[in-house]
């Protein structure tokens, strides 16, 4: 059980301050198909239009996991502003959305197969245009933790926004976490460049594939230990195998998985991140927070899309 709060959704928050997420909001087109895709013709699928985005999803899960003060800085187009603002507000997230008049909101097509594995087709839209000009240090007022979505680092403007936010957080002594987000995009940017951009973050939250890419190490525990040296904490999610926690170069915990029946793995990592950060804000140590993250991830894979159930998840 996590100290200072009831475990799981609805738990109270300690005096650790709020959570600010800087990242992305997206409109998700989730297509679940049981048969393999039939190239050049039709494949039957269940299709839903849902609010998404890695940053927004993590924020919603943090609120669902008991954090009473969750804020999100992101950029959206005029096309879906009202829907996304309402969805975030209903989920308990204070949305600080910059409206872009030139490009539409990010859109992600999530193809989910019979094994619940998802493949993304991503149009970054307005989200990749979030920039340093959209940042203000005042956004950190009352904040105990800053979380940066890895998708920020895959555009020049986003890297500027992330750098400005990270610099402000370090000046104020606010802990910063980063979710690397995408193997394909890290490869495109370059591992060395990515690691240089996130220097100064206190916590890294990669999945197993991202951790292997960032370190060149096949073993998840060794990769976590290596990543916890430039940062202070690295928590590597292992999907159905749970998670491994490393601090200051040493593995400190291997967290077992939570049994579940997955239908869609979209947003499982975001759920882990949100619950992990909400729990850390209560004063819990990384292993305890990772246990809560695994619980949230196990819940997420039973749902279509990347958000928790309840208000804030309505289809468009």
Q: Where are the domains of the chain?
A: 18-34+46-300
CA 16 from centre of chain: 20
How far is the C-alpha of 77 from the C-alpha of 265, rounded, in Å? 27
Give me the sign of the Cα torsion angle 133, 180, 125, 60: negative
CA 11 from centre of chain: 20
Question: Could you tell me which of 158, 160, 91 has the C-alpha nearest to residue 127?
Answer: 158
**Per-residue pLDDT, 247:** 97
**Per-residue pLDDT, 314:** 62
How far is the C-alpha of 199 from the C-alpha of 162, rounded, in Å? 11
Q: Are 120 and 30 within 8 A, CB to CB?
A: no
Which residues are bridge partners to 27 per DSSP?
51, 107
Give me the sign of the Cα torsion angle 135, 136, 142, 143: positive
Could you read off the pLDDT of 53-93 as tens digits, one per residue?
999 999 999 999 999 999 999 999 999 899 999 999 999 99
**Per-residue pLDDT, 311:** 66
Name the strands in the sheet holding 93-100, side by side, starting at the edge strand that comes first in the sequence.
93-100, 70-77, 18-22, 143-149, 175-179, 203-204, 233-237, 243-247, 250-255
Which H or E element spans position 52? strand 46-52
How far is the C-alpha of 187 from the C-alpha of 172, rounded, in Å? 32
Q: Are 17 and 145 within 8 A, CB to CB?
A: yes
How far is the C-alpha of 33 from the C-alpha of 146, rounded, in Å? 36
The CATH architecture assigned to 18-34+46-300 reads 3-Layer(aba) Sandwich (3.40)
How far is the C-alpha of 140 from the C-alpha of 73, rounded, in Å? 11
Residue that is written with structure tokens 């087709």 in the block: 121
- Indicate the pTM of the whole model: 0.89
**Per-residue pLDDT, 9:** 38
Which residues, including other chains, have CB under 8 Å from residue 35's CB and lie 6 or more apart? 43, 44, 114
How far is the C-alpha of 311 from the C-alpha of 165, rounded, in Å? 29
Percent of the chain as helix, strand, coil, to the nearest 5: 35, 25, 40
Write out residues in the chain with pLDDT < 50, as ranges: 1-15
Pair type for strands 175-179 and 143-149: parallel
Question: Could you tell me which of 18, 28, 147 has the C-alpha nearest to residue 80?
Answer: 28
Question: What is the token pair recorded at 233?
Answer: 């904490």
How far is the C-alpha of 72 from the C-alpha of 95, rounded, in Å? 5
Q: Are 167 and 174 within 8 A, CB to CB?
A: no
């Amino acid at each position: 059980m996590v100290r200072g709060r009831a475990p799981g959704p609805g738990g109270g928050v300690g005096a650790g301050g709020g959570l600010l997420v800087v990242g992305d909001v997206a409109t998700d087109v989730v297509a679940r198909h049981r048969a393999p895709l039939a190239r050049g013709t039709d494949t039957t699928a269940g299709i839903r239009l849902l609010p998404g985005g890695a940053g927004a999803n993590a924020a919603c899960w943090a609120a669902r996991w008991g954090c009473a003060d969750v804020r999100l800085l992101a950029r959206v187009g005029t096309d879906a502003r009202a829907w996304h603002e309402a969805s975030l507000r209903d989920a308990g997230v204070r949305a600080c959305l910059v409206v872009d008049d030139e490009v539409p909101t990010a859109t992600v097509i999530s193809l989910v197969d019979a094994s619940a594995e998802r493949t993304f087709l991503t149009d970054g839209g307005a989200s990749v245009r979030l920039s340093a000009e959209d940042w203000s240090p005042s956004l950190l007022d009352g904040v105990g933790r800053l979380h940066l979505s890895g998708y920020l680092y895959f555009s020049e403007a986003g890297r500027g926004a992330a750098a400005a936010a990270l610099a402000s957080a370090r000046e104020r002594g606010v802990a910063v976490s980063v979710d690397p987000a995408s193997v394909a995009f890290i490869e495109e940017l370059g591992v060395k460049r990515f690691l240089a951009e996130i220097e100064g973050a206190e916590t890294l939250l990669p999945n197993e594939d991202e951790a292997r890419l960032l370190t060149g190490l096949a073993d998840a525990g060794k990769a976590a230990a290596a990543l916890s040296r430039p940062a202070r904490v690295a928590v590597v999610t292992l999907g159905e195998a749970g998670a491994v926690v490393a601090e200051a170069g040493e593995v400190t915990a291997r967290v077992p998985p939570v049994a579940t029946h997955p239908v869609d793995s979209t947003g499982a990592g975001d759920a882990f991140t949100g619950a992990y950060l909400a729990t850390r804000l209560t004063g819990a140590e990384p292993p305890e927070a990772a246990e809560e993250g695994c619980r949230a991830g196990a819940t997420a894979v039973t749902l279509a899309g990347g958000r928790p159930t309840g208000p804030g998840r309505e289809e468009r």
